[in-house]
């Protein structure tokens, strides 16, 4: 009985560690791909002439 209890606990801990690694990997992958060079949100806003713009001209 004690061996079964320990093995269940070890199994649960191993599964928890695997889930944590998967979550961490997912988060890191998303963060790395969040702003790639192809992503239009990575560039500053542009005006009609194509120059970087922060809004209406003063």
As a whole number of angstroms, the distance between CA 16 and CA 20 comes to: 6
pLDDT at 11 over 80: yes
**Greater pLDDT, 8 or 39:** 8
- Grade residue 54 by pLDDT with cuts at 50, 70 and 90: confident
Residue 53: count of CB within 10 angstroms of its CB:
13
**Greater pLDDT, 43 or 16:** 16
pLDDT at 1 over 60: no
Residue length, the chain?
58
**Greater pLDDT, 17 or 1:** 17
């Amino acid at each position: 009985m004690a061996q079964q209890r320990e093995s269940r606990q070890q199994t649960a801990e191993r599964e928890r560690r695997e889930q944590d690694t998967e979550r961490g990997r997912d988060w890191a992958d998303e963060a790395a791909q969040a702003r790639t060079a192809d992503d239009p949100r990575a560039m500053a806003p542009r005006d009609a002439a194509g120059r970087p713009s922060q809004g209406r001209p003063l």
